Amino acid sequence: MSKSRFAVLAMTASVTAGLLGVPGAAFATDTATTLPAAEMAAALKGLATTSTAALKDGWKATETISGLVAGSGLFVVDPAGGIAYDKFQVGSAVEIQYVVDRKGTYTNLTDPASRAAVKVMNRPSVRFAFMPSATTNMQRYVAENGPDPATVLTEDTKHAGTKTVHDDGSAGYAYKDGDGTAFTVNVTADGVLSTVNVAEDGLQVAVTFSYGAQHQALPAASATVSAAELKKAVAYRNMAEDVKAAATKGAAAARKAAHGRTVKMAVLRKAVRHAAVKTNATIIKVTDIAGGAQVYATNPWTHKTVAYTVKAGGKRVVVHRK
């Protein structure tokens, strides 16, 4: 059985993750049969076929994690809308993605730089960045990242275990893999995957599958910014500090180059331009002014400008904010 979807939890918690479902209710009459490894794999492969047929209109997998860490996850597939929604949370950390077929991907802002950048844009309500791409393949994303029932039922399932048939026709398949992780796969009377139960080293994750049409809404335009605009805004997040740093570093370099003698204007201007490029070439501009150079940057969203002058007079170099 594949653990690829839940490996994210393992990396987050620095433990090896498994899948764990909520134990099923007791049944009046259960029939248990021991299955050799080959028969277990064959039985689950057959269930993968019936479970795959149930996916055509849409499906979702709901995860809950407990034990060493606590968290949750939700994976929704909306074929009609061409959308896959993926949300994973451990503690206060939340990662969200909307993958839209042939259009692109929405990703929630998780890093401090991005959250600061939307404030620079005067759009603090923005929560998602959109990366457009005509080559985005929603189905490929689902196959590679989602707990696809067919994948769950066919990867690493060749292990001896038991099959328990309940009086309502549903069944459970239990086994341990080579690492000692305990799995229980529960299916409906129609042979469709309903839950996956796994436990390993104090970590428990419950996964429940639901089938049928999904109607996944995308983030509102007011809460979204393009990835290109976000990248641009990141460069402006420390605009005032960067302009000041470029001016002061350029002044210091000009003083040093003069070796205690008269500061040459050409040397000063060259030093300031070099400092501006090294500090933040994306946003800082330098122009020549009488007696020296002006260092400045303008926020393209708020149109606020921060500027400093760097002027030479004899052996002195003076920096002033305008």
Q: Any idea what the CATH number is for the domain that residue 33 is in?
A: 2.50.20
- Domain stop point among 207, 233, 259: 233
Structural domain contains residue 1: no
Domain end point (choices 209, 233, 257): 233
Verify that 159 and 30 share a domain, yes or no. Answer: yes
Domains in the chain: how many in total? Answer: 2
Residue 211 dihedral angles phi and psi, to the nearest 5°? -125, 150
Domain shared by 184 and 292, yes or no:
no
- What pLDDT is stored for residue 98 in this prediction? 98
pLDDT at 270: 97
Which tens digits make up the pLDDT trace of 142-198?
999 989 898 889 999 999 999 999 999 999 999 999 988 989 899 999 999 999 988
Percent over 90 (pLDDT), the chain: 80
pTM of the model as a whole: 0.81
Three-class SS of residue 194? strand
Residue that is written with structure tokens 């050409």 in the block: 266
The rounded percent of the chain whose pLDDT value lies above 70 is 91
The overall longest dimension of the chain from CA atoms, in Å, is 99
The Cα 40–Cα 43 span in angstroms is 5
Give strand pairing partners of 173: 163, 185
